[in-house]
Chains A and B, each alone.
Chain A
Amino acid sequence: MDQVAKLLLELGLLFLGLALLGLVARRLGLSPVPFVLLAAVALGDGGLGAVRTAEPFLAAAAQIGVVLLLLTLGLEFSATELFASFHRHSSSGLVDLVLNAPPGFVAGLLLGLPWQGALALAGITWISSSGIVARLLGDLGRLANRETPAVLAVLVLEDLAMALFLPLLVVALAGKGPGSALAGVGLAVGAVLLVLLAAQRHGHRLGRLLSHRDDEQVLLRLVGLTLLVAGLAQLVGASAGVGAFLVGLALPASFADRARAILAPLRDLFAATFFVAFGLAIDPHAILPALPAALALAAVTTATKVGTGWYAARREGVGVPGRLRAGTALIARGEFSIVIAGLAVAAGIPDIGPVATGYVLVLAVAGPVLTRFVAPLTARFLPAPAPG
């Protein structure tokens, strides 16, 4: 068959399949990410091998997917929101790190991964999925709840921490000494602070540079600039995603709203190809043996996330039911755990792929389900209804 025809047919079927999966996932009130991962794993090497012609395209598109995912993450929160969250909730962010990263690290070592792989697994268990959680809070009508600011602040701080963690991980994965790792982190901290401060003062200039009446112009300028910065970040040994994240942070809130709206469809398309490409690279036969470890890790880090939410909500003076709602809302891990796993797999630690996949599959589904059912269960912690 004609190669072009084959490529187009494969991609067409792939995207239609993704549409169907997304539909099913949303019907169940869940994120499509675990469904896409599972389907991609089934399609991969050991499975049907149905998208062989499209694989080079998917691999390239996956890189762009990561860049766009992190760009929109940077666009999600304004510098003001970051500063405010840091100011008020930094201890919650710290508790989040201390409770949720070590289980991943220890599990990584127990699984026989090199320490760089264990570090990656620490990141995977640490970061909640802001995409899943934010959507969940909206769907469940919890935006006005008193625990919600604490939950969102934890997400913001995690995302900010990712800007520091990803360069650290990339340097560690590159296998250089602790000296260059430290230098890499120093560089990342400096860059993030610089961009945040610059965004406060001069962000509007960047916004004006990219603004145009025409959506097409905005899209091309924004994507062009982002890919350029991402490429440069990759070149100097940071990660492309971090560069994209910084671009998103630097853009002023006024422009970010429009940028988000324009980018959303493109991001969805490329991010989906990233999840597909990640899943395709995983040997389906490796998932089952990795599942017990993934389940155990999921159980432990479910408890630690509940602890994080409990702590963060209690600081806000929220009662026991609200603390449990906050804790369970944070359980879901998703897109960024896969981004981290993708970095580790690309750096030559393929063993982390099946564990991470199993882990995200479990928690991206279990998190939303648990938090949905915790609300009615906590009713008995409430005071008796007032008489009359």
Chain B
Amino acid sequence: MDLEETLLPGVGVRYELRTRSGQQLGIVVQREGGAEIAVYDQRDPDSARGMFRLDPEEADAVAEVLGAPRLTQRFADLSREVPGLESARFPIRPGSPFDGRPMGDTRARTLTGCSIVAIVRDADVVPSPRPGDLLHGGDVLVAIGSDAGLQQLDRHLSGQD
């Protein structure tokens, strides 16, 4: 599978996916939360044809259908398979020291050994977030790690140490 991500300044991000069956799918995720899903023209592969325009609510609904259950399913499987591995959710409150800062600034893995595997933002889920992804007040971080590590991470994220 080949997923390509391109920044669209002032608009959002475009994802292009060439499926194993050979189809080309384009998804533009707009800054305001809406999305466009496009299929590329056979003759002019640069041009999007057959566009779905989703408003933020509809995009959320599609994301939920495709994404959220699989994500939770994966965590459940993971915790079952690896004894001692726990997952936990940590809210980032508005005004928290990490509000507005990149995720990498939490240094979660260095300090606590825990991995942040997803950011849940309203109804959106950012799976496998990168260090550069910005955290906002109201986000919920999903992390996996040892029980002790998760408790340490909780204290760290709430600014208690």
Residues of chain A having any CB pair with chain B under 8 Å? 76-77, 80-82, 84-85, 130, 134, 137-138, 141-149, 152-153, 155-156, 203-204, 207-208, 211, 252-255, 257, 318-319, 321-322, 325, 375, 382-383, 385-386
A240 to B42, CA, bound (A): 49
A147 to B9, CA, bound (A): 13
A347 to B153, CA, bound (A): 59
26 contacts between A and B (CB under 8 A): A81-B10, A84-B7, A141-B38, A141-B48, A141-B51, A143-B36, A144-B28, A145-B46, A145-B48, A149-B6, A149-B14, A152-B10, A153-B9, A155-B10, A156-B10, A208-B99, A208-B100, A211-B94, A252-B100, A252-B134, A253-B134, A254-B100, A319-B44, A325-B47, A375-B47, A386-B42
Pairwise interchain contact B10-A144, C-beta atoms closer than 8 A: no
B26 touches A (CB below 8 Å): yes
A146 to B24, CA, bound (A): 12
Which of A137, A149, A383 counts the most B-chain CB atoms under 10 A from its CB?
A: A149
7 tightest A-B CB contacts, nearest first:
A204-B100, A322-B46, A144-B38, A144-B48, A144-B26, A146-B46, A81-B9
Please classify the interface of chain B as helix (H, G, I), strand (E, B), loop, or mixed, using the class held by over half of its residues. Answer: loop
Interface residues on B, range: 20 to 34
What 0/1 readout, one digit per residue, does chain B (32-59) give for beta carbons within 8 Å of chain A? 1000101010111111100100000000
Measured CB to CB, the closest approach of chain A to B135, in angstroms, equals 9
Pairwise interchain contact B46-A318, C-beta atoms closer than 8 A: yes
List, in ascending order, chain B residues with CB within 8 A of A252's CB: 100, 134
A147 to B110, CA, bound (A): 41
Pairwise interchain contact A149-B47, C-beta atoms closer than 8 A: no
Pairwise interchain contact B44-A382, C-beta atoms closer than 8 A: yes
Pairwise interchain contact A254-B134, C-beta atoms closer than 8 A: yes
**A211 nearest in chain B by CB position:** B94
A211 to B100, CA, bound (A): 11
**A82 nearest in chain B by CB position:** B9
Pairwise interchain contact A143-B14, C-beta atoms closer than 8 A: yes
**B27 nearest in chain A by CB position:** A144
Q: Which residue of B9, B10, B27, B47 contacts A321 across the interface (Cβ within 8 Å)?
A: B47
Pairwise interchain contact B31-A257, C-beta atoms closer than 8 A: yes
B156 touches A (CB below 8 Å): no
Q: Which residue of A146, A149, A203 contacts B7 across the interface (Cβ within 8 Å)?
A: A149
B39-95 CB contacts (< 8 Å) to partner A = 40, 42-48, 51, 94-95
Measured CB to CB, the closest approach of chain B to A139, in angstroms, equals 11
Residues of chain B having any CB pair with chain A under 8 Å? 6-11, 14, 26-28, 30-32, 36, 38, 40, 42-48, 51, 94-95, 99-101, 132, 134, 136
A376 to B95, CA, bound (A): 52
List, in ascending order, chain B residues with CB within 8 A of A84's CB: 7, 9
Pairwise interchain contact B44-A322, C-beta atoms closer than 8 A: yes
Pairwise interchain contact A148-B8, C-beta atoms closer than 8 A: yes
Measured CB to CB, the closest approach of chain A to B121, in angstroms, equals 11
A357 to B136, CA, bound (A): 44
List, in ascending order, chain B residues with CB within 8 A of A207's CB: 100
Measured CB to CB, the closest approach of chain A to B7, in angstroms, equals 5
A198 to B31, CA, bound (A): 23
A386 to B42, CA, bound (A): 9
A371 to B71, CA, bound (A): 42
**B26 nearest in chain A by CB position:** A144
Measured CB to CB, the closest approach of chain A to B137, in angstroms, equals 8
A152 to B32, CA, bound (A): 17
Pairwise interchain contact A77-B100, C-beta atoms closer than 8 A: no
Query: With A142-B48, A322-B44 known to touch, is A134 a contact of B95 (CB < 8 Å)?
Result: no
Pairwise interchain contact B7-A208, C-beta atoms closer than 8 A: no
List, in ascending order, chain A residues with CB within 8 A of B28's CB: 143-144
A383 to B6, CA, bound (A): 26
Pairwise interchain contact A152-B9, C-beta atoms closer than 8 A: yes
Q: Which residue of B8, B40, B42, B101 contacts A149 across the interface (Cβ within 8 Å)?
A: B8
Measured CB to CB, the closest approach of chain B to A316, in angstroms, equals 9
A305 to B8, CA, bound (A): 20
A203 to B100, CA, bound (A): 8
Pairwise interchain contact B31-A156, C-beta atoms closer than 8 A: no
Query: With A204-B100, A207-B100, A254-B134 known to touch, is A145 a contact of B47 (CB < 8 Å)?
Result: yes
**A147 nearest in chain B by CB position:** B46
List, in ascending order, chain B residues with CB within 8 A of A253's CB: 134
Pairwise interchain contact A134-B10, C-beta atoms closer than 8 A: yes
Pairwise interchain contact A77-B7, C-beta atoms closer than 8 A: no
Q: Which residue of A80, A143, A322 contacts B8 across the interface (Cβ within 8 Å)?
A: A143
